[in-house]
Chain A
């Protein structure tokens, strides 16, 4: 019963997050003094294609229809919601006509998910273990060094760590390639190898910054926890140092760290979007940039909407998984 209520409240927030996010996405283009149809027409004409006035008019009405900009605001809103939630269809991409936007997103999304999932998990695990050690032995020289590194790394945004890595490892020492280039047939060993090789720097830029945050927050949590009575009791009982750290301090400090993770997903996603663009990594960020550069309205609406849905879904998953790690929360 408890779990059902918990799940229901999470699901309501989830639906609201997506609904409000999508509503903002719907209203932004309509309240701005800009016209995606005129922007697209301007782009076509600037490429030198001469068109008769009738042709321009025909194209204008086609585009207005394709962008879902026909009818009253309310009709447009209903149509927009219907396209997203019922059909899950963002229409054709205009820059890469006639490839559907869904197909382009479907190709990019696994790259982004793979990058973020792996780098966030690595950062979380390594950062928490290091933070635990630093918090438990704050006066060791190594602890102080690690904490100082964390302080200097954490406040740096991903795109800056990405730029520094690009400067150091691509331009100064030419260890990594200039552009993202995956070779071989998808699924082959060569393909997997070169995909990993190309993803090391983008992943590292996210891991480094995340590492700093998890070290600092874990340090704060564990240095507080080790003063608790139950830790003192465990010491008197003769539990080994390692046992105290793992079973008494880590178990308790892990829980807020999972909550933090849920809160951070949006921020992590924001940063990774720009890091992707700098590396030319073929994920959602780079696809969004393509849409912006080509003024591909459908593609832009698609990638932005999917970004919001992806972040909301990831947050929901972490939230729902949380009780699994907390033995005090019982689901009956």
Chain B
């Protein structure tokens, strides 16, 4: 018990820091962090420029706040829709059974195997940088709902036979009521863990696309920060602050998300274990 609590605590602390960086700080940016030559170029970190400035005359710190905001936004939107669609599809498949179950399972299996990145690359390269963040989100949702759906389906299959569901059914509850009153609360902790994990996957995929210069050219994300640093030879010029800032930010963000995911799922497993032991 204390171990998973610790994980959640550290994870939540890291996430809180990122929420402040991405959710609040962008409003205080003294200038549009994307515009060029607003600050002197290639400065080392100082009190005025916390993470230094880059080759293009952008302040790395303010650029980071904008990047974190956009990356978090992508992650949250994709995770929200993918989890909702996944839970609904999984419940439908698990409870209806028969042909709907077979069809949904088949579609899930197919989308789990088809790799999303090549399709995103194809789409983004044909649009030549005109792909909006929302289009990328849409494709990410398309490829991320089957993971929760698969798991919810197996949970639903096992729960169909459970005592408390039968009790509810015999006491006259409708299937809809059983799902909303009895099953969704049961699924909640699990769905939360999956939600956080999908945030991670979505940010990772979009950033991957951005690192090779194929995400939206309009918006800055953690990945496109890395892309521009690579394009302007930040590595050869040993401008570590420029390339290092987004890399370190991604590492911290992902470890934080992961700690919350495993913490929540372990905590809920322990709770369930106690309840039914």
In angstroms, Cα B240 to Cα A320, docked, is 47
Check B205 for interface membership: any CB of A closer than 8 A: yes
- Min CB–CB distance A155 → chain B (angstroms): 4
Question: Across the interface, do B208 and A24 meet the contact criterion of CB distance under 8 Å?
Answer: no
User: Is A311 engaged at the interface, CB distance under 8 Å to the other chain?
Assistant: yes
A167 to B240, CA, bound (A): 9
Contact code string B5-47 (vs A, CB < 8 Å = 1, else 0): 0000000000000000000000000000000000000000000
- Is there an interface contact between B255 and A151, defined as CB atoms closer than 8 Å? yes
* Cβ contacts under 8 Å, A39 to chain B: 126, 128
Given the complex of chains A and B, what is the CA–CA distance between A155 and B116 in angstroms? 18
Residues of B within 8 A of A271 (CB): 208
Q: Mark B73-116, 1 if CB is under 8 A from A, else 0.
A: 00000000000000000000000000000000010011011111
Flag whether A308 is at the interface (Cβ < 8 A): yes
Size of interface on B: residues with Cβ below 8 Å to A: 43
In the bound assembly, the distance between CA atoms of A132 and B115 in angstroms comes to: 30
Are B226 and A292 closer than 8 Å at their CB atoms? no
Do residues A28 and B258 form an inter-chain contact, with CB atoms below 8 A? no
| Cα distance A301–B121 in the bound complex, in angstroms | 11
Q: Is B207 an interface residue (CB 8 A)?
A: yes
* Neighbouring A residues of B109 by C-beta, 8 Å: 13, 17
Interface residues of B in 110-159 (CB under 8 A from A): 110, 112-119, 121-123, 125-128, 130
Considering only CB atoms, which chain B residue lies closest to A305 in the complex?
Answer: B118
* Inter-chain contact B258/A155, CB cutoff 8 Å: yes
CB contact between A156 and one of B122, B125, B251 (< 8 Å): that residue: B251
Partner of B113, one of A24, A291, A303, A315: A315
Please give the number of chain A residues whose Cβ is less than 8 angstroms from any Cβ of chain B in the complex: 54
Q: Does A79 contact B (CB under 8 A)?
A: no
If the complex has contacts A32-B123, A36-B126, A288-B121, are A266 and B214 also in contact, measured as CB distance less than 8 A?
A: no
Residues of A within 8 A of B119 (CB): 21, 24-25, 28, 304
The interface residues of chain A lying within 8 Å CB-to-CB of B123 are 28, 32
Q: Are B110 and A13 in contact (CB under 8 A)?
A: yes
Scoring A residues 149 to 184 as 1 if CB is less than 8 Å from chain B, else 0, what string do you get?
A: 001101111011001101100110000000000000
Return the contact of B125 from the options A13, A154, A266, A292 (Cβ within 8 A). Answer: A292
Closest chain-A Cβ to B274's Cβ sits at a distance in Å of 15
Cβ-defined contact, A24 with B114, below 8 A: yes
Q: Which residue of A lies closest to B125 (CB)?
A: A292
Whether the Cβ atoms of A270 and B115 lie closer than 8 Å is: yes
Measured between beta carbons, the chain A residues less than 8 angstroms from B106 are 13, 16
B254 interface contact, C-beta 8 A: yes
Closest approach, in angstroms, between the C-beta of A221 and any C-beta of chain B?
13
User: Do the beta carbons of A171 and B113 come within 8 Å of each other?
Assistant: no
**Residues in B38-81 with C-beta less than 8 Å from chain A:** none
Tell me which of A21, A36, A311 has the highest count of chain B C-beta atoms within 10 A of its own C-beta. Answer: A21
Question: Would you mind naming 21 contact pairs between A and B with Cβ atoms under 8 Å apart?
Answer: A13-B113, A21-B110, A21-B119, A24-B114, A24-B119, A152-B255, A156-B254, A157-B207, A157-B208, A167-B243, A170-B235, A216-B262, A269-B117, A274-B208, A277-B212, A288-B121, A292-B212, A300-B125, A301-B122, A304-B118, A315-B113
Extra contacts, 5 of them, besides A159-B208, A266-B112, A300-B122 (Cβ < 8 A), are A16-B110, A25-B119, A159-B211, A266-B114, A269-B117
